[in-house]
Amino acid sequence: MIRTEGLTKRYGRLTVVDSLDLGVQEGDIYGFLGPNGSGKSTTVRMLLGLVFPSAGRMELFGEKMPHSARTALPQIGALIESPAFYQRSSGRRNLHMLDAAGPGGTRRDRRERVEEVLREVGMDTVDARPVKAYSLGMKQRLGLAAALLRQPRLLVLDEPTNGLDPAGVREMRDLLGKLNAAGTTVFLSSHQLNEVESLCTRVGIVSHGRMVVQDEVATLRRPTGRVRFRTADVDAAVGVLGDAVVSRDGDGLIAEGIAPDVLNRRLVEAGVRVSELIEERRTLEEVFLSMTESSVFA
């Protein structure tokens, strides 16, 4: 779906993107992560043909870019930075003007599609107030509606939850999951690591213009070797597990260096009742911080 090899962007002596190898597979919900100034926005702008690379190769849908931009870009819906709209027109009117520039379909078809995307982003009841009176969250929703107008195969989003309240964030997450389940590949750049962790299937982390890791979220969130569990028989549990218990807080304990199934079997065989048992895994935030901090010294 997206593939780059050695993608590089320089501005004079400054290298913003440095030999980036990026791979997004069809059906992914791909999180593109990195600190401020890491080259994320420049990479996205190169993918969309807004900036030309200094070196390297890019492919979209298996076609070389920018040579195939005329056929590839119409298959992409994008919400990049702050959405640009006619501020004195309503959101609905803005969408009609955007869709009017697209090929095919009757006026009725286009009108129905506008109403459909407004419903998808939770703005179907929006009134005729001008966009300049919209909140930041409403502008983000309208920007996503614009990106969805032509039913894209690939959706490219930059901070899609910016300005949304917690309920709006949840709705956005649910919508992106629904779109992905229907066949849309999602590529999103975000600072909201919790949202990326709960939504994305794969991530790429960049630092100083370089890709430092790219993998499945489940693989990156590998076990830490610690198991958290709760029991009313704390003393008995400590007696069974001994030095494997490294922490205790009320009825909650943490054991280290013992597999969850082994721990559970030993406790059950000793008659110790366990009410909760969780294998501890690294969070995406921990992965992100370890990768970006270590790359500073690479």
Q: What is the model's pLDDT at position 293?
A: 74
Please count the other Cβ atoms lying within 10 Å of the Cβ belonging to residue 125: 7
Q: Average per-residue pLDDT in the chain?
A: 90
Distance CA(197)–CA(42), nearest Å, equals 23
Q: How far apart are CA 263 and CA 294, in angstroms?
A: 34
Give the global pTM: 0.83
pLDDT above 60 for 254: yes
For 78, what's the count of Cα atoms within 13 Å in the CB-facing half-sphere? Answer: 17
What is the 8-class DSSP label of residue 159?
Answer: S
Q: What is the mean pLDDT of residues 87-100?
A: 87
Determine the Cα–Cα distance for residues 264 and 76; give it in Å rounded to an integer.
49
User: 56-67 pLDDT, tens per residue?
Assistant: 999 999 999 988
Residue 136 pLDDT level (bands cut at 50, 70, 90): confident
Q: How far apart are CA 245 and CA 228, in angstroms?
A: 10
Query: Which residues have C-beta within 8 Å of that of residue 28, sequence separation ≥ 6?
Result: 1, 185, 186, 187, 201, 202
- Is the pLDDT confidence value at 99 over 80? no
Instruction: Please check the confidence at residue 37 and state whether its pLDDT lies above 90.
Output: no
Quick check: 297 pLDDT over 50? no
The more confident residue out of 161 and 211 is 211
Count other C-beta atoms under 10 Å from residue 114's C-beta.
Answer: 22
Instruction: Select from 249, 268, 53, 28 the least CA-distant residue to 154.
Output: 28
* Ramachandran quadrant class, 283 (left: phi over 0; alpha: psi -120 to 50; beta: rest): beta
Confidence class of residue 135 from pLDDT cuts 50, 70 and 90? confident
Q: In the predicted model, is pLDDT for residue 86 greater than 60?
A: yes
157 close to 106: Cβ distance less than 8 angstroms: no
Token pair for 267: 């406790």
- Amino acid of residue 17: V
What pLDDT, in 10s, does the model give residues 186-224? Answer: 999 988 888 899 899 999 999 999 999 999 999 999 999
Question: Is it the case that residue 225 has pLDDT exceeding 90?
Answer: yes
> How much of the chain exceeds pLDDT 90, in percent?
69
**121: nearest Cα among 172, 68, 181:** 172
Domains of the chain by start residue, with CATH? 2-220 (3.40.50.300), 224-281 (3.30.70.100)
Task: Answer whether residue 256 shows pLDDT above 60.
Answer: yes
Q: Given pLDDT bands bounded at 50, 70 and 90, which one contains residue 104? A: low
The winner for highest mean pLDDT among 45-49, 79-83, 103-107 is: 45-49
Q: Give pLDDT tens digits for 9-18.
A: 999 999 999 9
Q: What is the 3-state secondary structure (H, E, C) of 88-126?
A: CCEHHHHHHHHHHCCCCCCHHHHHHHHHHHHHHCCCCCC
